[in-house]
Chains A and B, each alone.
Chain A
Amino acid sequence: MKNVYVLSAAMSKYGKSPLSARELALEASRKAIEKAGITPSDVQGGFVANAFSLSEKQGHLGPIVMSGLGIPDVPASTIESACSSGASAIREAWINILAGIYDCMLVVGVERVSQLDTITATTYFSFGSDYVFEGACGASFPGLYGSIARAHMTKYGTREEELASVAVKNHDNALKNPNAHLHKKITIDDVMKSPVVASPLKLYDACPFSDGAAAAIICSEEFLKRLNGGKPEGVIKILASGRAGGTGALHQRPDLTTLKAAVLAGREAFKMASLTPKDIDFAEVHDCFTIAELVALEDLGFFPRGEAAKATLEGRTTLKGEIPINPSGGLKAKGHPVGATGVGQVVEVYEQLNHKAGERQVSDARIALTHNVGATGGSCGVHIFSSFD
C-alpha cells in the first residue's frame, strides 16, 4: 500500500466561541496550511466534517470554506457521521490519496452549538440516535450512554467511582492543554456530587457542548517529495485506517457493554499496520462520557473485558502510566465540537509525535492511535499514526 501522510494539523481553541462554524473552519484551515508550508492553491480537494451546521442556517459548508480560503474552484463536500464525522473525513481523504485522485487534501472538522440553549442542543444531539426508537421515546444522548453504563456495571461490577476516575484524569490532562475547553481540576468526590443528568451518569461524567475546529493537510509521497527534499518539518505517517458500522439503535444489539463497530474498526487498523495494542505509545479515544472511554479501552484490546475501570482508577492510563489515554484531555475536558473531534484527535497525535505537546508530552511517543465513535457506535473510525522516521 502507498504511504499517506499528515503534513500538518492545527486547531482553534475549543470552548464557547462568538465565531460561526465557517469562521472557525477558516481559522483552523489557515493554521494548517501555514504550518504545512504550502499555499491554498496546493490544495486539490477538501472534506468538511460537520453535523449541525443547519442549526446556524448554513448547509453546503464545502464551497463556503474553500471560497474563504481563496480557492472557490476546488471541490469540497461535507461528511456527516455524527460524532465520528472527523475520522470519516480523514479516512475519505486517505482513500482519495491512495486512489491517486489527489495528492494534497484539506480535511477540516468544525462545530458550533453554543448558540443553542441546553434543551435545544440536547434535542439536536438526540437526532443522532435512531430517533424513532430512541430520541422519540425519551432518550437523550447521555441517556443512551447511561444505559450502556448500567449494562457495564451489571455485567462487570463497574463502580461509579471508577467512571469518575476517567473524568478526573482527563481534566488533569486538559489543564496542560492550552486549547482545551475545560481548565478545571476535579476530584472523584466532585464527580460523585455533581447533578445526575441520566443515571448513572452525572454532569462531570459528560463532555461539554463545545465549539471549535481542527484541520489537517493529508498528502501523498509524491507531494511530499516536492517539499523540503521530501522531509518537511512535522510530517507524520498514517499507518492504518479502519472503519466499521453498527446498528443505529441500542436495542438491536445483543451485548450493550461493547461497541461492535469499534471492535471491527480497531481490528482492521491493527491488521493493516501489523501492530498490536502493546505497540501503541498513547491513544486518543472517544470519551464523550466516562463509560465510553472504558468501553473503548476494552473494545480496542488495551485491557481485557471488565478490567479497564480498575486499571483507570489505579492510574495505569495517566500521562505517566503504562498506556497514556487522552493526553489532550479527551472529549471530556479538551471538549467535543462534534464534527471537529476526530480531526482534533489527529492534531494531538501530530503534536505528540513531533514532541511539541509541552507539559502533557508523552515521553518517547512514536506510534499513536485515534478512536472516534459516531453516536452510540453506529459508526467508528480508528487510525494509527507513526512519526516520520
Chain B
Amino acid sequence: MSEAATQISPSKNLTIKEFNEDIRQGKIEGYTCENCGHKQIDINEFCSSCQSPKLRKLEFSSEGKVVTYTIQLVAPEQFINEVPYAWVIVELDEGPRITGWIPFISKSSELPVGQRVRFKKSYLPGIVFEKI
C-alpha cells in the first residue's frame, strides 16, 4: 500500500446539521465533484458519479420545476397539522434534484407536473417550496 493511501483526512463534506441550518437560513447546499463536475444534494463522502473523494460544498439556486409529487392526506407525526400538502421532487435549474413540500395543495389541478417552484425560507419543518 502506498503512503498516500494510508492517510486518513477528516471529512470536509456537508453534514446533516449544516444542511439543515442552511435550509433554515434560506440556502440549499449540496456538493460538486472537483473530479467530474457532478452536482448532487446529498450527504456523501465519495462522488455518486465517479467515486472521487474530492467533493466541494456548493450552494444551489432556489428555483426549479416539479418532477413528480403526491398530495398527503395522512401524514407522519411532524406534519399532521399541515395536511393537505404536496410532497414534491424538484429538479433545480442547475440540474440536481431535491425534495420538499408545498403547503395548502389539496387537488392535483393545483400542481401540474413541470410547475415552476421556488425554495422558500421558512420556520416550518423540512424544505418548503412555493409556486412561482
Residues of A within 8 A of B (CB): 118-120, 122-123, 126, 132-140, 142-144, 146-151, 154, 195-201, 247, 249-252, 256
Contacts and interface: CB of A to CB of B under 8 A. Distances in A.
B48 A195 contact: no
A151 B113 CA distance: 9
10 closest Cβ contacts across the A-B interface? A146-B70, A137-B126, A251-B97, A199-B71, A151-B68, A138-B101, A143-B70, A198-B70, A138-B79, A139-B87
B16 interface: yes
Nearest to A127: B76
B100 to A, nearest CB: 6
B67 A138 contact: no
B74 interface: yes
Interface string B79-119: 11010010111100000011111000000100001000000
A195 B42 contact: no
B73 interface: yes
16 contacts: A122-B76, A123-B76, A133-B41, A137-B99, A137-B125, A137-B127, A138-B76, A140-B74, A142-B74, A143-B70, A147-B68, A147-B70, A150-B69, A150-B108, A250-B99, A251-B89
A354 B72 CA distance: 43
B43 interface: yes
A252 B42 contact: yes
Contact of A120 (B68, B77, B99): B77
Interface of B: 16, 19-20, 40-43, 48, 67-80, 82, 85, 87-90, 97-101, 108, 113, 125-127
Binding site secondary structure of chain B: mixed
Nearest to B82: A138
Contacts of A140: 72, 74-76
Nearest to B101: A138
Contacts of B99: 133-134, 137, 139, 249-251
B98 A147 contact: no
Given A139-B99, A247-B48, 19 more contacts: A119-B76, A132-B43, A133-B41, A133-B42, A137-B87, A137-B125, A138-B126, A139-B76, A142-B74, A144-B70, A147-B69, A147-B88, A148-B68, A150-B108, A197-B73, A199-B71, A199-B73, A250-B99, A252-B97
Given A147-B69, A251-B98, A256-B67, A198 B74 contact: yes
B72 to A, nearest CB: 5
Contacts of B40: 252
Contacts of B77: 119-120, 122-123
A150 B68 contact: yes
B108 to A, nearest CB: 6
Interface centre among B75, B77, B89, B90 (most CB of A within 10 A): B89
A157 B128 CA distance: 29
Given A132-B16, A132-B19, A137-B126, A196 B71 contact: yes
A138 B90 CA distance: 14
Contact of B72 (A118, A120, A138): A138
B38 to A, nearest CB: 11
